[in-house]
């Protein structure tokens, strides 16, 4: 991987090396091949499109004294040992290239003198950190091996510009010592009184209902415009939605005993199976005349089965590239304000339409929400992080009891303004971590626990002329996951691949029927 930064003084490109090791995310791991338009050979639909970005020159970052300010490392001046880790044009985090010293320095501006608490989202047991500013220093050593949040102490900032530095002594780096490889997601700066106010405000907005705690398990599907049949080519979007057999989904829900369904209304590509005027206003041809989402919501509601919508505003794996949408929505601008205005218009319309028949949202791509300059754009332009309070309020339009999660994947929670943990890849949690199903400490503190995992091989079935594989878990294993979830008051979502017509693997269908019978 190469990272390219423009040198504002010399006007030249400075090319430096970065890390190549990246874990699989919801976008998927590299597996089977598929052919894409414009390509002369088969390309894995889950392959990485790009492992480099062009970094804008560091800029002065204006802090809000009444907010929690997120400082992504790519917005500061990084030395040669601290490098961004990039996947699909997105900076996931920054990491030490080798063991030893490293440094990131941000220039921040505040309107008046004040004391700011500093918190870091980090990984790298044995590494030592020291945050500095105006002759002050607060140092800590990392004792946890996994991603976590750690308080570094307080710094007094003076009115005007300040240099905030993070000195790192990385204990280890590279594949041979991966557990100690230092990684930094973001540094948070907030006045103690501002952080306290945010925590109180977020807690007041939070909903963690009994139905979710005691749901046991639900079914999750990544069915979109890219869903394929067992053989042959996929249909045009309108025809695909018109031909979708909702009865098959209802039969599966009944047979499985699932308490809820998590359904993707988008998955990278911005196509929604309903007549959504706000999306039409941004980009025509992406909605349908049939309100499949509404029919689904109505029928599940009649059965007493809850419904959660999955939504992703866009990312750029091979299978998810949607440049036309991102261009139209403002996703390629350094300032992501327009993008989130469009996000709010879509989410509010959907929420208002389905009201109390829509019980939750599962927003994917939390890293993009946390760091609005994940693409290497300049911190001088626009917002540094998504307006989470506003987004969460919009997501509850039509139902104030609606649940909200922003998927942080393996990293700490990206905001306090959410109700539950996205739980990507999680099948169970340690009882000691929870009280009444809620995390009492750690990187997801305060959130309702929830896990979701793949039953077969993929999150969604998007390969052509390929059957859905057999389930990789036995009924005994699944029943064990569910029993532990019930005992500790958190739900788990079992993700199934689904064909274009709404059918699933017969083997998966029979397994879930057996699961229902086993748990009676």
Average pLDDT of span 326-344:
97
pTM of the model: 0.92
pLDDT at 44: 75
SS3 31: coil
Positive or negative: CA dihedral 192, 197, 202, 208:
positive
pLDDT at 24: 36
Which pLDDT band, with edges at 50, 70 and 90, does 172 fall under?
A: confident
Q: Are 283 and 324 in contact (CB under 8 A)?
A: yes
Average pLDDT of span 38-61:
78
d(CA 163, CA 358): 46
The strand pair at 260-264 and 217-221 is best described as parallel
Asked if pLDDT for residue 5 goes beyond 60, the answer is: no
Which pLDDT band, with edges at 50, 70 and 90, does 181 fall under?
A: confident
Average pLDDT of span 218-230:
96
The strand pair at 69-71 and 60-62 is best described as unpaired
Asked if pLDDT for residue 9 goes beyond 90, the answer is: no
pLDDT at 47: 76
d(CA 137, CA 157): 12
pLDDT at 179: 55
Which pLDDT band, with edges at 50, 70 and 90, does 56 fall under?
A: very high
Rounded to the nearest 10 degrees, the angle between the axes of helix 337-354 and helix 292-303 is: 50
CATH homologous superfamily for 57-198? Galactose-binding domain-like (2.60.120.260)
Average pLDDT of span 245-258:
98
Which pLDDT band, with edges at 50, 70 and 90, does 319 fall under?
A: low
Which pLDDT band, with edges at 50, 70 and 90, does 37 fall under?
A: very low
Average pLDDT of span 127-150:
96
Top pLDDT among 520 and 344 is at: 344
pLDDT at 150: 97
Q: What is the mean pLDDT of the chain?
A: 91
d(CA 140, CA 168): 10
Q: Where in the chain is the domain with CATH 3.20.20.80?
A: 206-519
Average pLDDT of span 172-190:
78
Tens of pLDDT, residue by residue over 418-451, are 999 999 999 999 999 999 999 999 999 999 999 9
Contact partners, residue 108, CB within 8 Å, separation at least 6: 60, 61, 62, 63, 69, 71, 157, 161, 162, 164, 189
d(CA 433, CA 319): 36
In which residue are the tokens 């490109």 written? 13
3-state secondary structure 133-147: ECCEEEEEECCCCCC
Q: Which of 193-207, 318-332, 480-494 has the lowest mean pLDDT?
A: 318-332
Closest C-alpha to 48, from 72, 73, 20, 6: 20
Contact partners, residue 230, CB within 8 Å, separation at least 6: 465, 466, 467, 468, 499
Q: Are 234 and 498 in contact (CB under 8 A)?
A: no
| β-bridge mates for residue 155, sequence order | 116
3-state secondary structure 444-502: CCCCECCEEEECCCCCCCCCCCCCCCCCCCCHHHHHHHHHHHHHHCCCEEEEECCCCCC
Class of domain 206-519: alpha beta
Average pLDDT of span 2-14:
37
Residue 86, H or E segment: strand 82-87
Q: Where in the chain is the domain with CATH 2.60.120.260?
A: 57-198
Tens of pLDDT, residue by residue over 366-401, are 999 999 999 999 999 999 999 999 999 999 999 999
Query: What is the share, in percent, of the chain residues with pLDDT greater than 90?
Result: 85
Alpha-helix runs per DSSP H in 304-387: 323-329, 337-354, 366-370
């Amino acid at each position: 991987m190469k990272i390219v930064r423009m040198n504002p003084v010399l006007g030249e490109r400075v090319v430096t090396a970065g890390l190549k090791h990246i874990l699989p995310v919801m976008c998927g791991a590299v597996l089977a091949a598929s052919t894409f338009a414009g390509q002369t050979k088969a390309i894995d639909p889950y392959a990485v499109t790009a492992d480099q970005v062009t970094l804008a020159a560091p800029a002065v970052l204006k802090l809000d004294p009444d907010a929690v300010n997120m400082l992504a490392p790519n917005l500061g001046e990084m030395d040669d040992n601290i490098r961004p880790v990039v996947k699909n044009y997105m900076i996931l985090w920054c990491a030490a290239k080798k063991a030893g010293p490293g440094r990131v320095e941000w220039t921040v501006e505040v309107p008046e003198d004040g004391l700011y608490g500093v918190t870091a989202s980090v990984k790298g047991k044995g590494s030592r950190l020291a945050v500095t500013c105006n002759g002050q220093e607060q140092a800590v050593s990392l004792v946890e091996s996994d991603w976590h949040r750690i308080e570094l102490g307080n710094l007094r900032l003076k009115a005007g510009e300040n240099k905030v530095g993070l000195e790192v002594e990385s204990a280890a780096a590279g594949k041979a010592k991966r557990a100690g490889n230092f990684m930094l997601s973001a540094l948070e700066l907030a006045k103690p009184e501002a952080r306290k106010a945010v925590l109180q405000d977020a807690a007041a907005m939070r909903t963690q209902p009994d139905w979710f705690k005691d749901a046991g398990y639900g079914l999750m599907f990544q069915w979109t415009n890219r869903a394929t049949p067992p053989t042959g080519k996929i249909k045009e979007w309108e025809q695909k939605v018109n031909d979708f057999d909702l009865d098959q989904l209802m039969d599966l829900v009944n047979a499985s005993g699932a308490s809820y369904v998590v359904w993707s209304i988008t998955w990278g590509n911005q196509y929604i199976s309903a007549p959504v005027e706000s999306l039409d206003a941004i980009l025509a041809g992406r909605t349908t005349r049939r309100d499949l989402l509404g029919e689904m919501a109505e029928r599940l509601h009649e059965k007493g089965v809850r419904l959660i919508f999955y939504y992703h505003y866009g990312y750029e794996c091979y299978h998810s590239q949607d440049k036309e949408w991102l261009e139209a929505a403002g996703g390629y601008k350094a300032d992501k304000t327009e993008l989130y205005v469009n996000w709010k218009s879509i989410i509010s319309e959907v929420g208002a339409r389905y009201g109390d028949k829509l019980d939750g949202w599962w927003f994917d791509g939390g890293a993009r929400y946390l760091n609005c300059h994940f693409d290497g754009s300049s911190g001088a332009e626009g917002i540094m992080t998504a307006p989470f309070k506003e987004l969460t309020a919009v997501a509850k339009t039509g139902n104030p009891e609606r649940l909200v999660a922003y998927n942080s994947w393996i990293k700490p929670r990206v905001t306090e303004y959410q109700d539950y943990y996205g739980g990507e890849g999680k099948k169970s949690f340690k009882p000691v971590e929870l009280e009444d199903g809620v995390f009492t400490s750690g990187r997801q503190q305060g959130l309702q626990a929830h896990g979701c995992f793949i039953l077969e091989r993929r999150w969604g079935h998007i390969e052509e002329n390929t059957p859905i594989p057999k389930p990789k878990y036995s009924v005994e294993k699944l029943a064990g996951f569910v029993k532990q979830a019930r005992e500790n008051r958190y739900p788990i979502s079992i993700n199934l691949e689904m064909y274009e017509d709404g059918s699933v693997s017969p083997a998966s269908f029979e397994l879930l029927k057996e699961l229902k019978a086993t748990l009676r």
